[in-house]
Amino acid sequence: MLLFFLLPIATLAITSLESGDFISGFDFTWNFGNYSRGFNLYSEQYLHAVEYGGSATIVALLVAYPAAYWIAFHAGPRKSSYLLAVLLPFFVSFVIRTLAWETILSDNGVLFGPLKSLNLLPNDFRVLATPVAVTGGLAYTFFPFMLLPVYASLEKIDRGLVEAAQDLFASKFEVFRRVIFPLSVPGVFAGVLLTGIPAVADYVNQDLLGGVGTTMVGRVIETQFEVNINYPLAAALAFVFMLGLLATLIIYQRIFGTEQIMGG
């Protein structure tokens, strides 16, 4: 814990208060300016992270829950085959898959090219380089992290409970609302965490699928670290991001949390 968690955090915090440059070296000077500068320059990108990461999580949940439900309750003996079929694409590196989307969604690519030549879409229609592409890409990238925990919690539900509800004349909807869904909440909770956190921090999807004004803070941090070699500013941006994430998690856990997940 000390070695793998506290030490890196402390290093990050110290770096974020340094000033100087790569060549003459960085010095620790309690330079809180990094924080105000970072936040002034890039507050919009923080908002984008929340916006795209959040909506991607919701999209992933809306798609993954029915899929997991169907596999858990209606797929019969071929459950594992269906599960495998859903997960198979994810054995390929996600960057390759995102690049594939970039090609598919190209303005005159395999998808939109024919539609445009049939005049079903206006000529200047595009998905690539828009927030929609970024959100969709994020939802797609982290889909398994939503599906698997939801599936696991649905699968665990004692079928006897469902039958009991039916014996007591609950309608299908009532069974779902009062028995199945409440019992699957731990899975949803975990799925939202596992999808939301990496989605908010992602910097690849926006790079490949995004365009002007779709930059999320992850990419800003990457640019400051790797390209501009401004370690203090990057560290300050990352630190603010982490604190924000932590605060969100605590609130999230207070509101929706279950004892099983957070251990109390």
Partner 1 sequence: MSTDKEVPYYMDPSFLRGLTQKRITRRTALQGAGAVSMAAFMAACGIGSKPATVAHTNWVWDKATKAGVLDFANWPLYIDTGTDSKGKTTYPSLEQFTKETGIKVNYSEPILDNNTYFAKAAPELLLGKSIGYDIIVVTNGIYLSNYMEQNWLTELDPSKLGNFNQNAAPRLLARGFDPGNKFTIPWQSGFTGIGYNPKLTGRDITSFNDLFDPKFAGKVGMFSETQDLGNLTLRGIGIKPETSTPSDWQKAADKLKAQRAAGIVRKYYDQSYIDALSKGDTWLSMAWSGDIFQTNLSAGNEDLKFVIPSEGGIIWTDNMTIPVGAAHPLDAITYMNWVYQPRVAATMAESIEYITPVPSAQQFIQQDAAAAKKADQPLLQQLAQSPLIFPSAETLANTSYYRVLANKDETNKWLDLFTSVVL
Q: Which is nearer to partner 1, 37 or 79 (CB)?
A: 37
Q: Which residue has the tokens 């803070």?
A: 217
Contact between 212 and partner 1 by CB under 8 A: the answer reads yes
Build a one-symbol-per-residue string for 47-86: x at contacts with partner 1 by CB under 8 A, - elsewhere. ----------------------------------------
Cα 251 → chain centroid: 18
Single out the segment in contact with partner 1 by CB under 8 A; choices: 138-146, 193-201, 220-228, 253-261. 220-228
Q: Which is nearer to partner 1, 165 or 220 (CB)?
A: 220
The SS3 of residue 18 is strand
The SS3 of residue 64 is helix
Cα 51 from Cα 125, distance rounded (Å): 23
Cα 143 from Cα 88, distance rounded (Å): 12
| Nearest Cα residue to 210 out of 82, 89, 93, 51 | 51
Restricting to residues 98-137, which ones interact with partner 1 according to CB under 8 A? Answer: 99, 103, 106-109, 124, 126, 128-129
Smallest gap from Cβ 108 to partner 1, in A, equals 5
Return the residue of 3, 88, 96, 255 that touches partner 1, per CB under 8 A: 96
- What residues contact 237, with CB distance under 8 A and at least 6 apart? 38, 42, 217, 220, 221, 224
Q: Which two tokens stand for residue 92?
A: 């390929």
The residue ranges that bind partner 1 (CB under 8 A) are 20-24, 41-42, 45, 93, 95-96, 99, 103, 106-109, 124, 126, 128-129, 207-208, 210-213, 215, 219-220, 222-224, 226-230
